[in-house]
A = this chain, B = another copy of it.
Amino acid sequence: MLAAALQDGTASRRCTFELFARALPAGRRYGVVAGTGRFLDALYDFRFGDAELDDLATVLDAATLQWLREFVFRGDIDGYREGELYFPGSPVLSVRGSFAECVVLETLALSVLNHDTAIASAGARMVSAAQGRRLIEMGSRRTHEESAVASARVAYLAGFAATSNLEAGRRYGVPTSGTSAHSFTLLHTDAGGPDEAAAFRAQVEALGVGTTLLVDTYDITAGIDTAVRVAGTGLGAIRIDSGDLGVMAAKARAQLDALGATETRIVVSGDLDEYAIAALRAEPVDAYGVGTSLVTGSGAPTAGMVYKLVEVDGVPVAKRSTNKPSRGGAKEALRRARSTGTVVEEVVHPMAAPPALGPHDRALMVPMVRGGEVLKELPTLDDARTHLATALVSLPWEGLKLSTGEPAIPTTFL
């Protein structure tokens, strides 16, 4: 595309591309924009070096190679801030510049946003389901090693308290947390057989009594007895990773209380998703460790966002073929709300013709890049986390239901 557009001169036409989702994943009531920060970071590094160009030399002509060698994005980007809710058709990013400089960003923008948005959207439902209880992200081993780091980042954005991914702590400042694995308990086996007490003792000596002991390697009841015997009633927490977690949590709470360990918390893990988290609301669970379901988007591993050319030299353009309707023209959006703050409607309008903003309405797009320069005042990860928490409170109550349904608010296209 790039080679052909450079050759016939259309590469320099001024274009607007929009990144949006035609629909939310089946039955979801809202989506959470995520990855914008990572995308803007990547934009700085998105260059073609000798290694790439040497490889492309077999398929591209000299003029295209030269263009790629000199490529730096010089256009403008506006979009929904990270942590913003989105709905079908929300113009999550608007990328403007020459056709050539915008089209080469397609895969980068979509990869980052489709992945991170899918994970954040699932994570937000889990946080809602947990109703204030602590969630720990533990999914690194169930997804690609780099997806794992990105997932930990957006789990925090979604409201998770911590991650077991140390690299996400280093790279993005996400709080880290962890417990031991069964292998650590099993390691404390010798010719005399398993010695769970030795494992607990080693952990407490290294990490203090505030640590979390994994009590279900052998018999849970015996494990809890041993844990409190070794650590004392000041033990920080126990973790249960198997069995019927609701039943086990209730039994464990009674046992801990009877042993005098009334402040010892109970962490549960093991194939938890938002539904399992909600089902444990009535049980004495203090924290959830969530892995697979988070990093796979809990049934929706990609957000299904697309990146479409909507305007060329000021002329709106759109596909006309069946099944995949698209709307031409550069667009912006606002969200209408009642005086109570509850949102009622997403309004997508031509960029050139914004409707009047009511006293409780909010314009949704913010400037992100101007002339290729990423703006400095962009929100941090913590800002995004706070923004999302506020946005979720603004949804009509049925918008937070876990059951399948329509988007929480309708989108109107002006």
Contacts and interface: CB of A to CB of B under 8 A. Distances in A.
Contact of A190 (B307, B309, B315): B315
A140 to B, nearest CB: 5
Question: Size class of A's contact patch?
Answer: 35 or more
Nearest to A302: B142
Interface string A314-352: 010111111110000000000000000000000000000
Interface core residue of A3, A8, A194, A220 (most chain B CB under 10 Å): A8
A269 B15 CA distance: 25
Given A186-B318, A302-B292, A106 B141 contact: yes
Given A3-B207, A7-B202, A183-B17, A147 B115 contact: yes
A144 B146 contact: yes
A71 to B, nearest CB: 14
A198 interface: yes
Contacts of A61: 206
Interface stretch (A51-59, A86-94, A383-391, A403-411): A51-59
Contacts of A297: 301
Nearest to A184: B1
Contacts of A191: 315
Contact of A307 (B1, B42, B141, B217): B141
Interface in A132-185: 140-148, 150, 166-167, 169-170, 176, 180-184
A272 interface: no
B144 A150 contact: yes
A216 to B, nearest CB: 5
B292 A296 contact: no
Interface in A60-110: 61, 99, 103, 106-108, 110
A218 interface: yes
A107 B201 CA distance: 25
Given A183-B17, A194-B317, A319-B217, A115 B99 contact: no
A36 interface: no
Interface in A286-301: 292, 295-297, 301
Nearest to A328: B186
Interface core residue of A198, A219, A315 (most chain B CB under 10 Å): A315
A412 interface: no
A6 to B, nearest CB: 8
A112 interface: yes
Contact of A321 (B144, B207, B216): B216
Contacts of A206: 3-4, 7-8, 61
B103 A115 contact: no
Given A141-B111, A243-B321, A187 B146 contact: no
Interface in A30-65: 42, 51-52, 55-56, 59, 61
Contacts of A170: 51-52, 55
A128 interface: no
Interface in A183-227: 183-184, 186-191, 194, 198, 201-203, 205-207, 216-220
A114 interface: yes
A309 B218 contact: no
A263 interface: no
Given A5-B187, A111-B148, A190-B315, 6 more contacts: A4-B207, A5-B202, A111-B143, A143-B302, A242-B322, A295-B302
11 contacts: A1-B181, A3-B206, A7-B205, A10-B187, A107-B140, A107-B148, A114-B142, A114-B143, A142-B302, A147-B147, A292-B302
What are the 6 tightest A-B residue pairs by CB atom distance, in nearest-first order? A4-B206, A110-B141, A183-B309, A146-B146, A8-B202, A111-B145
